[in-house]
Amino acid sequence: MNRIVSCYSNSYGPPGVRPAVEGISAAGLSYVELALRGHDFGGLVIPESAVVIESTPAPEVSSFLGLLRDRSVKVSGCNVGGADLRTPEGFELTASRIRFANATFRAPLAVSGAGQPTDSHERKIIIEHLRRLGDLATDLGMLLTLETHKGPTQNAQAMLDLMGDLDHPGIRINFDTGNIAFYNLRADPVDELQRVKHLVGSVHLKDNRGGLQDWFFPALGEGGAVDFRRIREILDEVGFSGPYTIELEGIGGEPEPGQEERHRRVARSVYHLRACGYFD
């Protein structure tokens, strides 16, 4: 089976997407998931100037596309989340990022959060916005996948409920192996995946040590709470063909690891995935 193994650009930290592409290529990978927004959560801060977004000057976009070609790195997907999907502004921002991902990178999928409604009214708004985003993605030949975050995609039961409400063929789950334990007490990602495996369109491969709200996301295989071989076996059983994306968000409280150490963590993660059968 020819699996797609990618790496999220945020894994390379504050310098952003350009060194990420160079590092991913050096680690022996051919795919990148691109962040289309800055990041400021859990101690990981990446400014918008370090990513490629709609307002990035055209010469910089062209230069980055040239870097992708030079390094023979393809875009497995774009991360378009972060906006408040309870609002029209959040919907429009997410929609514009999906269009940009398609027009600039020909990305086959867009990864987004599913919002965090506080009541049934807000949930109805989010459901409507997600359906419209799913329609947009489908019209562009893309798949919209929803990240494992607090709220409507927090665990398997929440995912099943949301996907039942959405009932949209262009929307699937982005299953995050590390966020399951981060957002749920004593939750096993293998058990959760078994329940939603037929709904998964993309995967974030993230390790941890199984603690609730414990920001501990080291190189894959170094956390101990995720059985990456079993994750692969479960998805092989249902013919999963989407990207497996390495996501390394670091360890809470540690000094900035720097580019060399961040790259070593990616390289160690690739080595672990090889041992777990992700590369034929």
Least-confidence region, from 41-55, 70-84, 99-113, 209-223: 41-55
pTM over cut 0.85: yes
Section 104-125 average pLDDT = 97
Buried-state track 151-172, b at ≥16 Cβ within 10 A, e below 16: bbbbbbebbeebbeebebebbb
pLDDT at 161: 98
**Helices assigned H by DSSP within 71-118:** 88-105
Residue in the block written with tokens 């996501």 = 247
pLDDT at 207: 98
pLDDT at 42: 82
pLDDT at 134: 98
Phi, psi torsion values for 153, nearest 5 degrees: -125, 25
CA neighbor of 93 nearest in space, from 64, 115, 63, 68: 115
